[in-house]
Structure 1
Amino acid sequence: MSGRQFAIFVLGLLIVTSASRPTLAANAAQGKRLALTYCARCHAVDKVSPSPLKIAPPFRTLHERYPVGMLEESLAEGIVTGHPTMPQFRFERDQIGDFIAFLKTLE
């Protein structure tokens, strides 16, 4: 592989990698608005309240199960769970960054 081909390969890799990550300008306040709009009916979205739906984990405990950054792919592709009360939904890329930034404020 020539130096030019290698440079093009690295540039392409950086573009693909950065496209799959939340934006650096993620807005936790917007992420909280998303959580309040789409999730708060069932999940606790703060640091103290119980979840309105008992089987729905409070968002403040998600980081205890797995790194919240790992949710990127699921949020982009559509989260599907094993129980029928959880609706399937999908966020846009900028919403994912905001939502994950918000979840990290709860850790």
Structure 2
Amino acid sequence: MAFQSPLQAQSAQRGVVIARTYCVNCHSIDKLSPSPLKDAPPFRDLHKKYPVESLQEALAEGIVTGHPSMPEFSFDTGQIADFIAFLNSLK
């Protein structure tokens, strides 16, 4: 993982809270464990498929893709920045 400033680390911590609130029942949100739902990719692997920053628009407008049973979510600008910081912390 690259160096994080204190502000980036705080943002990533807020992103962890978002992941624990909305995502942990289906996705692995750490660096080791498998996702509870087989079709839900572990968050640590998302950056291998595409730049996680590309999720910003989808998170703002509401993600409607993903695995078949994924509910729709939409977040405000601050939440999106925090969630992206969290995803980047998993690299």
Give me the TM-score of the superposition, normalised by structure 1. Answer: 0.74
Larger radius of gyration: 1
Q: 2:83: which partner in 1?
A: 99
Question: Is there any run of 5+ residues in structure 1 with no aligned partner, and where?
Answer: 1-24
Q: 1:73: which partner in 2?
A: 57
Deviation at 1:83, TM superposition (A): 4.7
Moved over 6 A (4+): none
1:87 to 57, 71, 80: 71
Amino acid at match of 1:93: T
**Deviations 1:22-57, CA, capped at 9 Å, x for gaps:** xxx551000000001100000000000000000000
Q: 2:24: which partner in 1?
A: 40
Aligned CA-pair RMSD: 1.3
Deviation at 1:84, TM superposition (A): 3.9
Give me the TM-score of the superposition, normalised by structure 2. Answer: 0.86
Amino acid at match of 1:51: S
Number of equivalences: 83
CA distance change for structure 1 residues 82 and 45 in 2, over 3 Å: closer, same or farther?
A: closer
Question: Is there any run of 5+ residues in structure 2 with no aligned partner, and where?
Answer: 1-6
| Higher alpha-carbon deviation: 73-82 or 31-40 | 73-82
